[in-house]
Amino acid sequence: MSASAPGRPGVARPRRPTEDPAWLRWALCLLAVVLLGMFLLLPLVAVFAEALRRGVGPAVAALGDPDALAAVRLTLLVAAIAVPVNLVGGVAAAWAIAKFDFPGKRVLTVLIELPFSVSPVISGLVYVLVFGAQGWLGPWLEERGVQVVFALPGLVLATIFVTFPFVARTLIPLMQDQGRTEEEAAATLGANGWQMFRHVTLPNIRWALLSGVLLCNARAMGEFGAVSVVSGHVRGETNTMPLHVEILYNEYQFVAAFAVAGLLALLALVTLAAKAVLERAE
């Protein structure tokens, strides 16, 4: 916005009426940078500083620990199941909501957003209420040798719940804006449903889709509260990376805890960078 760009040095020009005085502009910018730096960036720096407190060696050793590796594997496995489920569900929901009018559309839109307004702990709790030892289906499943809570299925379900709206909510406004004329043209020209989706819809939504999947994945790998409730905290078996961080921290293994936390922080940084790139691609 050229109206508020700082003036060229040495060139006196009258200040426009909507332009703030230079001292105010710089003071506000400085204040924002200092406050955000202390409030948002310093915690990030602290993670890496604590992880490397005794040098690189102990931090790397902590990441090579068998329990840590098991936690990494479990986190990747959970995300590899949860993210595709929400990808398919999210695309289906966006297709129905953005391209068609039907009774109950508004209710459906609100319900899809619901998991975001539920506490992570409650997101885990609801699965314990259904599948736990005293849950609705728990005893019946146990007789058949199926364990959901305190095992992989519970972790996956809780993760799907907390990451449920990401893909749908990035796609719906975009696909609504795009309307359905392009798809209708493809249909008129004889494309079948899959051809239409593959050649018309998908190219239009690919960046938003990728960005939704990225955010969904970051949350899936970093989720703590919901999986904490349904995990049984069995080391090397049902601990995802964030849960492993908590155990290490509670055992006063601070360097190891912050090393694993640093790995998760790197994931967050990569996600933010990729999101910035995608936003420019759009």
Partner 1 sequence: MRRRAALPGFGLALGVTWLWLGLIVLVPLSALVLRPWELGLAGVWASVTEPRVLAALRLSFGAALVAALVDLPLGLLVAWVVVRYRFPGRRVLDAAIDLPFALPTAVAGLALTALYAPNGWLGAPLAAMGVTVAFTPVGVAVALAFVGLPFVVRMVEPVLRDLGPEAEEAAAVLGATRWQAWRRVVLPALGPALVSGVALAFARAVGEYGSVIFIAGNRPMESEIAPLLIVARLEQYDYAGAAALGLAMLLLSFACLLVFAAMQRRLRRGMA
Tell me which residues in 82-101 interact with partner 1 (CB under 8 A): 85, 88-89, 92-93, 95-97, 99-101
- Amino acid of residue 129: L
Q: Does 210 bind partner 1 (CB under 8 A)?
A: no
The CB-based long-range contact list for 267-276 (8 Å cut-off, 24+ gap) reads: 267/218, 267/221, 267/222, 268/218, 268/222, 269/44, 271/214, 271/215, 271/217, 271/218, 274/214, 275/211, 275/214, 275/215
Q: Which stretch binds partner 1 (CB under 8 A): 56-64, 66-74, 170-178, 266-274?
A: 266-274
* CA end-to-end distance (rounded Å), the chain: 21
Residue from 169, 171, 209, 224 in contact with partner 1 (CB under 8 A): 224
Angle at 220 between CA 216 and CA 222, to 5 degrees: 120
Q: Does 207 bind partner 1 (CB under 8 A)?
A: no
State the residue for tokens 């995802």: 240
Q: Does 76 bind partner 1 (CB under 8 A)?
A: no
Q: How far is the CB of 103 from partner 1 (least distance, A)?
A: 11
Tell me which residues in 137-176 interact with partner 1 (CB under 8 A): 157, 160-161, 164
Distance CA 55, CA 122 (A): 39
The number of C-alpha atoms within 13 Å of 79 and in the hemisphere containing its C-beta is 19
Q: How far is the CB of 36 from partner 1 (least distance, A)?
A: 6
Q: How far is the CB of 242 from partner 1 (least distance, A)?
A: 4
One character per residue 36-55, x = contact with partner 1 (rule: CB under 8 A)? x-xxxxxxx-xx--x-----
Residue from 173, 176, 184, 203 in contact with partner 1 (CB under 8 A): 184
Q: Does 225 bind partner 1 (CB under 8 A)?
A: yes
Distance CA 271, CA 249 (A): 25
Q: Does 132 bind partner 1 (CB under 8 A)?
A: yes
E strands along the chain, which residues? none
Q: Does 242 bind partner 1 (CB under 8 A)?
A: yes
Q: Which is nearer to partner 1, 39 or 143 (CB)?
A: 39
